[in-house]
Amino acid sequence: MEVKIVENIKEVKCDALIINKFEGKDTSNDLVNKFAPDSFTGKEGQIFVIHTQGQYPAEQIVAIGLGEENKVDNNIIRTNVAKAVKKCADLKLKIVAIDFDTNYNYGAPAVLGAEIANYHFDKYKNKKDNRISELYLSNVDENLVNKAVVIADSMKLTRNLANEPAAFATPTKLSEVAQNIDGIETTIYNQASIEEFGMGAYLAVAKGSAEPPKFIHMKYVPQNPKKRIAIIGKGLCFDSGGLDIKPANSMLTMKDDMSGAACVLGVMKAVAKLKPAVEVHALIAACENMPSGSSYKPGDIVTAMNGKTIEVDNTDAEGRLTLADALCYACKLGVDEVIDIATLTGACMVALGTAASGIMGNNEDFIKEIINTGKNVGEKYWQLPMWQEYRDNMDSDVADMKNTGTRYGGASAAGMFLKEFVTDDVKWAHLDVAGTAFIDKPIKEFCKGATGIGVRTLIKYITK
């Protein structure tokens, strides 16, 4: 979708002009005031469409309710513009303009909402879904709109990768995508280098697949950075469960188990364009977890990069093993903060559903800052406990720990496992996005499939 800023939006010849109505306040559009039913009060989410009968350059007016004017915010703008854009797409429209009667700086959230709603993964379909091709705005902050376009483009990359079949989005393909992001220094480590690093936990997971593992290190270094951050994305390009194999219905969407990796790739694409005053390292331990004669087995003991030994209690608790070595590597980079994002546990999905992602970490202020950042951009995070009892359940008779605990409190147990591989001098947060990365039906502005969760939060946090 091409986004254009013009001086007079009312003169734009378009298929639809999207306008707003606040609850309890008439719009400035005479057609809506004249023809809208009394039930169209401007309540948030209400929508009304009227053909202009040649009285406007726009063929149709799409009025969207935004609720009470004094309560409007970015999230209300984004989700309701998305709803209006979906309506336009349903009507097979192509050229759309937005003209909101408000002093609120609506340009950036409007563009982001429109871009999210306009997304469809139809690469492999002969009959393509209808998309809006042009979006016009006026009286908006051009810099903020341009940033919103960058964020939307990054989300599109992330969603595309997570929606791709595993036969396409292999560890090698992820490494190629990383290397093709201009403005970022990228190093790809092969299996021999990974072995030299001592990443025994990560390598154990990768053993069963014919696809070779790739450890990806992307780096952006500005002059005089105000701080240094490492972001880590779980990169399981396909998770069969290994020898503890998943049921068929649970395996169907495991192409999305690299959503965390897709997220950090999208974030780095934005970082290269937005150029924040922050040094950013993006790490992905990419591999597949497959059952074969060479697979790691329940009862195996593996050694992570920091020397800690792990008894494999379940080969389907593989993501934490790859993240363990990535966390060790990150802490050796001299960064101030580490954020990992992963579709890690079904337990988190059971606890929070698709409404929120879980968050844990070793610094309360850091966790709260990420939660508030997410709230600002429309991504919800809920803090889960990290108590010693969860760690005690992972005690092993033959190694330093097991990779799982009991059947209860699984998300917190996974967080406590990861904490073992983070040094005390580094602020660390773990985002469990198992329930939010991939949805099985449309929710708000998102269609079915990958959501690009984490991209908005991490870009906002890094660039603020």
Catalytic residue set: 246, 320
Cα 162 vs. chain centroid, distance in angstroms?
A: 10
For the chain, the 3-state helix, strand and coil shares in percent, each to the nearest 5, are 35, 20, 40
Please tell me what DSSP assigns to residue 35: H
CA distance 392 to 459: 36
How many Å from the N-terminal Cα to the C-terminal Cα in the chain?
26
Q: How many distinct helices (H) and strands (E) make up the chain?
A: 15, 19
CA distances from 383 to 179, 339, 386, 396, 418 (A): 34, 14, 9, 27, 16
CA distance 242 to 104: 52
Close Cβ partners of 129 (under 8 Å, ≥ 6 residues apart): 89, 120, 122
| Strand 95-99 versus strand 16-21 pairing type | parallel
Q: CA angle 21-27-28, nearest 5°? A: 145
| Strand 357-361 versus strand 427-432 pairing type | antiparallel
Q: What DSSP line would sit under 297-315, residue for residue?
A: -TT-EEE-TTS-EEE-S-T
In residues, how long is the chain?
Answer: 464
Please name the helix (run of DSSP H) or strand (run of DSSP E) that holds residue 428, with its range, or none. Answer: strand 427-432
Q: Is 153 exposed, middle or buried (0-12, 13-18, 19+ CB in 10 A)?
A: middle
